[in-house]
Amino acid sequence: MASHAAPVDLANGNGIALGSASPKKVAYFYDSDIGNFAYVAGHPMKPHRIRLAHSLIMNYGVYKKMEIYRAKPATRLEMTQFHTDEYIDFLQKVSPENMDNFQREQTKFNVGDDCPVFDGLFEFCGISAGGSMEGAARLNRQKCDMAVNWAGGLHHAKKSEASGFCYVNDIVLGILELLRFNKRVLYIDIDVHHGDGVEEAFYTTDRVMTVSFHKYGEYFPGTGELRDIGIGTGKYYAVNFPLRDGIDDSSYKSVFEPVISSVMEFYNPDAVVLQCGGDSLSGDRLGCFNLSMEGHANCVKFVKSFNRPTLVVGGGGYTMRNVARTWAFETGLLVDAHMDRTLPFNEYYEYYGPDYELDVRASNMENANSPEYLEKIKNQLIENLRRTAHVPSVQMQDVPRQSLGAMTDEDDAELDDLDEDENKDVRMTQRQWEQRIERDDEYEASDNEELEKVNGVHRNGTSRRTFQDYRNSDVEGDSGIATPTNGMGETVINSKETDEIVMKDAEDIAQDAAAETNEADTDSKADEKKSSEGIEAASIAEQEESLAEVQDASKSAKESEESEKATTPPQDSAKKQDLVLKNGKDDDEIMQDAEDGPKQPEQEVEKKRSTEPEAIKSPEEPKKDKDGDVEMDETSTGQKQNDGKTSKTEEAAEAASSTETTEQAKDKDTTPSS
């Protein structure tokens, strides 16, 4: 079970990935409702971009080389695998109509400014999380080599708090799913913002390594310093590469590839989650990096070359046309599709003028990352990574379910069902406990600040910083022309000065590390013992013991709270087992390769979901909002409020023949100039 079909391709041992010619089986998750959701007017986050990307993917014919799924939306129960019940309950019941009755909760859960209440919020979260969870489940069952969910990647969401346009953390939920079958999961984040929500969730465990490359310094969310490396068992399993404005393709590659190679070599993950936030692209409305489409996609290509089961998710990205181009290109890259530079005609063609090309070009903005700076940080991170070699997790025993022998997935699913039926009143059956391979002490959430302080962890950011504090002036120019300003206004820090601070940090950390070497060796032995106990722990008692050790080590001031966590089995986990198994769609549900046009697969899905009569509506003229974006999404949301069948009509409109859409495009007087 634990060995994956995908061969490990790190044979040379030097951490240099060998490209693989072996075709990848890719499962792509898309829910056509996603583009109908809209945050409030003028909000930079536009779910519509996912529909744009999907349209390119279909019209390029990339869909022919992969399996397309519509995931079952994540349920409240599934979301509470990570989030608190009261937070999810709030998301489920709050609406634009009743939000005034929930002012206290809005403050408490940080719902309001960056993360507004909008129509269909909970549904949106369900679709986003459902895709990542089902992608992870298919990877677990070796039904695919790679899974893609562009509606996911919402990395800022916290256990009981919305943050940075993110409400439900689909990535954490996906990783929790992967941890059921994999000993070590690697998370890589190339969004321009720090992947704080995911890092925080797994800050104290070595079962997940989080690696984030991001802008650091007067920038949302304010976390992700070089010296934030994890705590307790998780020490050295959080990796942060703080970057400055304007990083270009070659600079990014010069740090991304060696760091990821070292991660693969030393950590040797069983599965990977790659967050592909598109706000690290040049010309992003909120970002400040200078990556071209190729430079961004090189990260995907590089991660793919390691041949690990990989879940690819979206994330930020606020210049819609560039996000769509890049995610379509990256989807094509995963399936080795040839994609012409000239964009195929599609229903959103007018977004891509004036060049109508599949490209996002870098601009001439200054790169504030000096080679010396990058080299120093890179070396420090690789030094830290060496310390994760031969770590406790490597010593972990095989997961108990292996001993069940050669069972098929179906046998397994049947046993699970039976087990569930026989234990209706039990929160988690013995079988389910045995199938779990995670330990309860591993998943930290938003409430570990004190613990971190005790451990000398420096976290500069306040949790309530907002995106808008650091947004760029509205950069909506053409890719390759616009040079993002840094958007910091009065607080521009001389980059040389900050470089010195960070490089000094690197030196300090190196010294600390040297001083700790002896101590670490001792720790490591203790940890080895603890870990093998931890993984075999099928009983609550043993989990408690394992947790107690972590607490001793960290001298945590939060003992009472933590032990409470340990003695309570994770809520609703029992149900989860069943839900996940039922979620996995069978191969017969795979949409057929359509010979007769790229829209066919989507229509197939629709047939399954609804038998309502088709209602063709003529697509409306795109409106521009004050930011210059074409506001097709908001048009449809308006309808959504009045008409429950909007998604259907939208769909029908989308499925309109290409002839029809050609004419629409020709008729447009207002080709967006943005």
Residues annotated as catalytic are 156
φ and ψ at 317, to 5 degrees?
135, 110
**Pick from 324, 210, 352: nearest CA to 267:** 210
* Closer residue to Zn ion, CB minimum distance, 317 or 570: 317
**Pairing mode of beta strands 67-69, 26-29:** parallel
Quote the radius of gyration of the chain (alpha carbons, Å): 24
The β-bridge partners of 243 are 215
- Amino acid found at 193: H
- Provide, rounded to whole angstroms, the least separation between the CB of residue 469 and Zn ion: 14
Q: Which of 228, 209, 225 lies closest to 217 in space, CA to CA?
A: 225
Number of residues that bind Zn ion (CB under 5 A): 5
DSSP 357: B
Minimum distance from residue 273 beta carbon to Zn ion (Å): 16
* Rounded (10°) angle between helices 121-140 and 170-179: 30
Amino acid at 207: R
Long-range CB contacts for residues 414-423, cutoff 8 Å, separation at least 24: 416/577, 416/578, 416/581, 417/578, 417/581, 420/574, 420/577, 420/578, 423/574
Minimum CB–partner distance for residue 526 and Zn ion (Å)? 38
Helix residue ranges, H only, 48-169: 48-59, 76-79, 85-93, 103-108, 121-140
Closer residue to Zn ion (CB): 1 or 190: 190
Decide if 185 contacts 273 (C-beta within 8 A). Answer: yes
Element (H, E) at 544: helix 540-554
How far apart are alpha carbons 318 and 164 in whole angstroms? 13
471: amino acid identity, one letter: R
Beta-sheet pairing, 271-275 with 238-243: unpaired
Q: How far is the CB of 39 from Zn ion (least distance, A)?
A: 14
- CB 232 → Zn ion: shortest distance, Å? 28
Please give the full DSSP string across 314-337, using - where no structure is assigned. -----SHHHHHHHHHHHHHHHTT-
Q: Which is nearer to Zn ion, 90 or 219 (CB)?
A: 219
Positions in 15-54 near Zn ion (CB under 5 A): none
Instruction: Please say which residue, 279 or 606, places its beta carbon nearer to Zn ion.
Output: 279
Q: Residue 205 or 210: which CB sits closer to Zn ion?
A: 210
Nearer to Zn ion (CB atom), residue 232 or residue 246? 246
| Cβ 141 to Zn ion shortest distance, Å | 31
Q: One symbol per residue from 511 to 550: x for binding Zn ion (CB under 5 A), - otherwise; what is it?
A: ----------------------------------------
Residue reference for tokens 């397994």? 412
Residue 484 binding Zn ion, by CB under 5 A: no
Q: Tell me whether strands 185-189 and 310-313 are parallel, antiparallel or unpaired.
A: unpaired
Nearer to Zn ion, 196 or 265 (CB): 196
Q: Which of residues 173-212 bind Zn ion (CB under 5 A)?
A: 191, 193
Unique residue bearing structure tokens 């893609």:
148
Cβ count within 10 A of residue 647? 23
The distance of closest approach from Cβ of residue 384 to Zn ion in the complex, given in angstroms and rounded to an integer, is: 24
Q: Is 465 helix (H, G, I), strand (E, B) or coil?
A: coil
- Phi and psi (nearest 5°) for 29? -105, 125
CB of 194 to Zn ion, least distance (A): 9
In angstroms, give the least distance from the CB of 128 to Zn ion: 15
Query: Which one, of 660, 669, 607, 319, lies nearest residue 478 by Cα?
Result: 319
Residue nearest to Zn ion (CB): 316
CB of 193 to Zn ion, least distance (A): 3
Q: How far is the CA of 561 from the CAs of 135, 198, 200, 201, 222, in angstroms?
A: 33, 21, 17, 16, 27
Q: Would you state the torsion angle of the CA atoms of residues 313, 315, 318, 323, taken in this order, to the nearest 10 degrees? A: -10
Query: For residue 369, what is the enclosing H or E element?
Result: none
Smaller CB separation from Zn ion, 276 or 506: 276
Contact 26, 66 (CB under 8 A): yes
Closest to Zn ion by CB, 277 or 619: 277
Q: Which is nearer to Zn ion, 278 or 309 (CB)?
A: 278
Interaction pattern, residues 283-322, with Zn ion; x per rule: CB under 5 A: ---------------------------------x------
Q: How far apart are CA 301 and CA 20, in angstroms?
A: 10
Q: 250-289 mask for Zn ion (x: CB under 5 A)? A: ---------------------------x-x----------
Q: In what order do the strands lie in the sheet with 238-243?
A: 67-69, 26-29, 146-149, 310-313, 271-275, 185-189, 208-215, 238-243
- Tell me which residues touch Zn ion (CB under 5 A): 191, 193, 277, 279, 316
